[in-house]
Structure 1
Amino acid sequence: RYQGAVVRARAEKYFLGEQPTKRAMEEEKRYAMSKEIPEIEQNSVLIQDKAIIANVFCEHYKELFGNNETSKDYEYLKELVSLLPQLDQQSTKELEEPFSIDEIEKAVDALPNKKTPGPDGITAEFYKLRKNILCPILLAIFQEAYATNSLPPSFLRTHTILIPKTDDKQKLLHVTGYRPITLCNVDYKIFAKMLTNRLQRVICDLVGNHQTCGIRGRAIQTNVHIARSVLECVTDSSNQIAILQIDLAKAFDRVCHSVLFTILSYVGVGNMIFEGVKMSYSNCYTSLVINNNVTTKIPVRSSVRQGCPLSPLLFTLYLEPLCQSIKRSEQVQGYVLCKTEIKVQAYADDVAYFCKDKKSVTHAIELT
């Protein structure tokens, strides 16, 4: 009991071999209280009733995770999809091989320890401890899922916790002051990690060097170095440059699933990845964890899960049509650095445009 309290309290004060006592229970309570949302403001009215607070957040996320697709958005993005590269037949064929025990074991070994589990309460440590027993079972489950085109219901059920975006108490009075983080069951995380490992093989062929999030061998420091180099060159010359930091509000939460599926189909990632992603985002739902209570189910018809190992790569693919439209536009003039024209740099939804003149700025904004 005390050991469980140490884990839930995120305690780091206990050394190897030290036995936790009642202090661990007290630390768990303090940790839980620090995560509470004591009050929010709605229509200029301060609300402190926990049931009403939970209801306000539920209504907000029902709307946010609802299907936000419109015919105009879909048709426009469909045109942008044609800007993406496509994999050759050999690359697609290699991605379509059935999953193996080795892939499952690799995914299990890569799971981070001491992470909050999903709704079933089973931790990554348990899967690692019983890997030799569980991996063959997981393989059978995955094979059945592809045969029936549906994942087990537990894979599609998640909890969502709300993490403060800021220390500003005034901003935390509003639902927008919190970031939703999805807690997935570990068996789903293993499945998602396997899809991620496969997608990593070809992601560099599909997403340009301007995007550095989640892609093996790329780092955000590259973006920083490029921006700094551009500014230094401009400072030392008579040239000018406008750098626009684009704020894509709630970008992960507004990902339209049908557009995501269209992109995956177009670039040719193969049946294993395409159907795997489609199953992962079909008939899924979440429940918010607010003030130590779990809310009713909220259908998830848009968004990629923040907290899922697959989400960064899915989002980079989703954003790539926009980045390509900026790069290929003749009306957007960037900055030439070492014989390479820099127009856009991105780390997930943190996007920066490099524009040579006002006309380029105007057109880049119109494309966004």
Structure 2
Amino acid sequence: MFMQNKAEIDVIRQVPDSDLQQYLSPVTSQLNDFERATLNRPFTKEELLIAVKGMEKSAAPGADGVQLPVIEYLWESLGPILTREANNIMRTGNLPQNFKKVLITLIPKRGKEGDTDIANLRPISLTNTTLKIVSSAACRRLQKVLDKLIGPNQRGFIKGRFITHNTMEFFTMVRLLKERKDRDRPSYYQAILMADFTKAFDRISHQYINATLEKMELGTKMTGLLMSILKGQFGQIVMNNCGGDYFPLDCGTRQGNPLSPLLFNIALEPFLLHLKILEGVKLSYGDISLGQMQYHAFADDVNIYLSNLSDYQKTARCIKDFERVSNSLVSQSKSKLIGFYNGYSRKEQDILPYPQSYIGREDTQYLGIRLKGVDWSRFIKNLPFMTHKQGYRGLDTINKALGTNMFVSSKTVYKDLVQCMTAKELKKIDVSIQRMFQGIGADKLYARPKKGGFGVIELKVQLQGHRAKVLARTLGDDQSWYVKYMRAKMLHHVVKIFHQNPRANIRNSQGLDWADFLFEANGRYFENLEWTFTPNEIHYINAWKQLVKGSRITHPYTIASRARIEDVSAILSLRGIPSDSERKMLRTGIFKSQSKQRQEKKPPIMPGRFREICPEARPIKKWDKFWKALYKEEWIKRNELGAIHLFNIGSYVPQHDERPSRAAKCLLCLKEVTSDVFLQHIYNECAISQYWWNHLGFPRAMNLREMLAPEDTSFDNLRKLNWFVKIVRITYKGRRQSGNEGVTLPELSNRALRSAMRRVTPMGQ
């Protein structure tokens, strides 16, 4: 089945050069001589090392089996060799023979887990790590000039451009079009074409990519390097650890190679330039024009905005021409036309052959967010399932924390910018995350790893920075319609407050500045926000209020003295100009990693009860030094020392002692112990513990003071301590369970003690 599908893709028709040049006529080179020379200069050993350090260390190797940490470790020997080979490739345009083999593994697309249909599987290319290093270095060079090569509404994998810009613009645009439908009376054919490219990365023609690179005038050497990484390679499909025959890879970009997304962006850009002939969607704030949108693109997710049947005809021609020259294919079954009128699904047209639906009934998604909005109750309810699905629910605490930040917190931040959670929902999601870490308090969960915590993101804090940053975007040079829209709203609200009239016209803004809204000192412009802003936008503003201190005081006489700009559109095109103090404040990183910043200000974790019964463990410096040493072992060297970590935050003890002095029985030695000294007994004085101290290689039994934030943070000592506290806790827990079931506990024999040591592994928790 795969080979049949592959054969269909690989029948690549050569397109006459004249046709390619005609199609690429809208493409012009924007690079200056210095930028082009920088792209084409020889690689240096230092440049490749920077690429090595920036790559994912756990990435799977290619056919040679060499992983990145090996190359980094041997860099002094291998660096000069790889630098020479990289420059040979750039000079000759030819790959060494051992760079040409590519292993291909198939993984299911999102939501298609367990599916065996080839259409629902995605090929991932495993190229040699050495080639990925060269590709990554080339990728870093390209990133510096992509703003000149790629239009502003294509945002995938480009530095400084974010997927959230697409989603916020899209959902705001949809809301505006719905609100203005009755007023503006647009064509019944106004619609969004969500174009789905079949095997987008795998089909794209090498001839077409080469012609596009040449038209953009990247330079002979850089173009030769990029094309050599694409052409002349041979793939081998590996399934169930069995490899098939090698076959030539005559089309497509290699998913898994760092250059693949950028090359696809470059290949897509001429198609998007052709779409500029569309009327598209005109956007405005009242009667003030904000611009028009013909498309949004993020990787192979392309939305095309259609105003009328004329746009349908132009789009059909654009798609047909792009498919012809690039070997791409827009799926007729998976692409969708979504209209804004109730009867759109029944509206007949024979121009664009895609399924039609009404947006009010459409349940599809744009970049992972449903058109109907985010169902936060369902999202929070599904958190336990999400952790299980991603495979980290049963891992140790550190990896579970990393998984939570990666799969839960990042998704939450992404969706929240489109539909902000209420304070109640924020509290619910933080509590739900805390429940996944039984026995660990919120303060320890959120604390920074170098301070003894696990670095889980506290969302109610973290989201404030992301929300406020939406408004910070308006202060830059961004001239997108969305930025102008937010500036218009802020200016309009300033006008309303200044005139104390919720119906004041935005054109009565003589002398008023939209940036005053953000920096006004007494907060009067933050009053009556519901006059102007949506609930989502009010969440952005409230976050800004929390993080940014206003410094401007506006009086009628200062406003009257300002130079007046009568054209509101011109006002909205002006970037905000913060004062020196405002600029200094904004440069302090106040929008970045709010949860982390908050936790960095706190002292290291110190277990309260342990410090009460062991005064020697009270100095903060002792804990600060210990946690930093343990951080290196656990987070940097990836040694699993979860038991001693949890013990030192006070949550890995078999039984907490109590302050009132009363009798309690040690379930290890079966002696009566007063509860106020229970922990001292079980770890230091108990005969059973003494046995384990002696047989785990310690010169003597450590007292509680020495166990808490130990001064000896060598791996050997930490490993043995980890083993000891695991044995004590697991054995004690097992005996307590037996006692609760009514079993009379026998004395532990030496044989049982040795067995306990064998059953418990030294590492982990």
Give the alignment's TM-score, normalised by structure 1: 0.78
Structure (1 or 2) with the greater strand fraction: 1
Q: 2:90–2:222: 8 Å Cα contact kept in structure 1?
A: no
> 2:41 & 2:116 partners in 1: Cα distance?
50
Aligned to 1:355: 306
Task: Tell me which of 183, 196, 199 is aligned to 2:139.
Answer: 196
Shift of residue 84 of structure 1?
1.6
Aligned to 1:48: none
Question: Any idea what SS the aligned residue of 1:244 has?
Answer: strand
Aligned to 1:211: 154
Task: Tell me which of 181, 184, 189 is aligned to 2:124.
Answer: 181
Question: Any idea what SS the aligned residue of 2:115 has?
Answer: helix
**Equivalent pairs: percent with the same residue?**
26
State yes or no: 1:109 paired with 2:32. Answer: no
Deviations 1:128-169 (A, max 9, x none): 222222111111212333444322112121100001125558
Aligned to 1:51: none
Question: Any idea what SS the aligned residue of 2:283 has?
Answer: strand
Aligned to 1:267: 216
> 1:319 & 1:272 partners in 2: Cα distance?
22
Aligned to 2:283: 336
Shift of residue 180 of structure 1?
0.6
Task: Compare relative contact order (CA 8 Å, sep 6+) and give the higher one, 1 or 2.
Answer: 1
Shift in alpha-carbon separation, 1:321–1:146, aligned structure 2, 3 A? closer
State yes or no: 1:136 paired with 2:80. Answer: yes
- Code of the residue aligned with 2:291 in structure 1: it is T
Aligned to 1:123: 67
User: Counterparts of 1:1-368 in structure 2 under 5 Å?
Assistant: 56-64=1-9, 66-71=10-15, 76-86=19-29, 87-165=31-109, 172-237=115-180, 238-239=183-184, 240=186, 241-327=190-276, 329=277, 331-337=278-284, 339-368=290-319
Shift of residue 69 of structure 1?
2.8
Q: Which runs of 4+ in 1 moved over 4 A?
A: 74-77, 166-169
> 2:204 & 2:300 partners in 1: Cα distance?
11
Shift of residue 188 of structure 1?
0.4
Aligned to 1:18: none
Q: 1:199–1:269: 8 Å Cα contact kept in structure 2?
A: no
- Code of the residue aligned with 1:154 in structure 2: it is N
Q: 1:165–1:179: 8 Å Cα contact kept in structure 2?
A: yes
> 1:291 & 1:145 partners in 2: Cα distance?
34
Shift of residue 280 of structure 1?
1.4
- Code of the residue aligned with 1:137 in structure 2: it is I
Aligned to 1:53: none
Deviations 1:201-231 (A, max 9, x none): 1111010011111100001111111111211
Deviations 1:88-135 (A, max 9, x none): 333212222111112111111111021211111111111122222211
Question: Any idea what SS the aligned residue of 1:125 has?
Answer: helix
RMSD: 2.0
Deviations 1:15-42 (A, max 9, x none): xxxxxxxxxxxxxxxxxxxxxxxxxxxx
> 1:365 & 1:77 partners in 2: Cα distance?
18
Q: 1:332–1:355: 8 Å Cα contact kept in structure 2?
A: yes
Shift in alpha-carbon separation, 1:275–1:172, aligned structure 2, 3 A? same
Aligned to 2:444: none
- Code of the residue aligned with 1:159 in structure 2: it is L
Q: Which structure 1 residue ranges, 5 or more long, are not aligned?
A: 1-55
Q: 1:199–1:273: 8 Å Cα contact kept in structure 2?
A: no
> 2:203 & 2:193 partners in 1: Cα distance?
22
Shift in alpha-carbon separation, 1:246–1:364, aligned structure 2, 3 A? same
- Code of the residue aligned with 1:351 in structure 2: it is V
Q: 2:193–2:303: 8 Å Cα contact kept in structure 1?
A: yes
Q: 1:286–1:297: 8 Å Cα contact kept in structure 2?
A: yes
Question: Any idea what SS the aligned residue of 1:172 has?
Answer: coil
Q: 1:333–1:343: 8 Å Cα contact kept in structure 2?
A: yes
- Code of the residue aligned with 1:342 in structure 2: it is M
Q: Which structure 2 residue ranges, 5 or more long, are not aligned?
A: 320-765
> 2:126 & 2:306 partners in 1: Cα distance?
40
> 2:46 & 2:282 partners in 1: Cα distance?
46
Shift in alpha-carbon separation, 1:70–1:336, aligned structure 2, 3 A? farther
Shift of residue 303 of structure 1?
0.3
Deviations 1:224-244 (A, max 9, x none): 111112112122222444111
Shift in alpha-carbon separation, 1:232–1:367, aligned structure 2, 3 A? same
> 1:208 & 1:182 partners in 2: Cα distance?
28
> 1:143 & 1:333 partners in 2: Cα distance?
45
Shift in alpha-carbon separation, 1:233–1:166, aligned structure 2, 3 A? closer
Shift in alpha-carbon separation, 1:349–1:168, aligned structure 2, 3 A? closer
- Code of the residue aligned with 1:317 in structure 2: it is I
Q: Which has the larger radius of gyration?
A: 2
Q: 2:26–2:273: 8 Å Cα contact kept in structure 1?
A: yes
Shift of residue 76 of structure 1?
4.7
- Code of the residue aligned with 1:57 in structure 2: it is F
> 1:119 & 1:278 partners in 2: Cα distance?
21
Q: What is the number of equivalent residue pairs in this alignment?
A: 308
> 2:21 & 2:310 partners in 1: Cα distance?
26
Question: Any idea what SS the aligned residue of 1:71 has?
Answer: coil
- Code of the residue aligned with 1:282 in structure 2: it is K
Q: 1:162–1:181: 8 Å Cα contact kept in structure 2?
A: yes
Q: 2:63–2:101: 8 Å Cα contact kept in structure 1?
A: yes
Give the alignment's TM-score, normalised by structure 2: 0.39
> 2:13 & 2:36 partners in 1: Cα distance?
29
Shift of residue 176 of structure 1?
1.5
Shift in alpha-carbon separation, 1:177–1:236, aligned structure 2, 3 A? closer
Question: Any idea what SS the aligned residue of 1:339 has?
Answer: strand
Q: 1:289–1:295: 8 Å Cα contact kept in structure 2?
A: yes
Question: Any idea what SS the aligned residue of 1:236 has?
Answer: helix
Q: 1:305–1:311: 8 Å Cα contact kept in structure 2?
A: yes
Question: Any idea what SS the aligned residue of 2:310 has?
Answer: helix
Q: 1:150–1:279: 8 Å Cα contact kept in structure 2?
A: yes
- Code of the residue aligned with 2:6 in structure 1: it is Y
Shift of residue 362 of structure 1?
3.3
Q: 1:58–1:298: 8 Å Cα contact kept in structure 2?
A: no
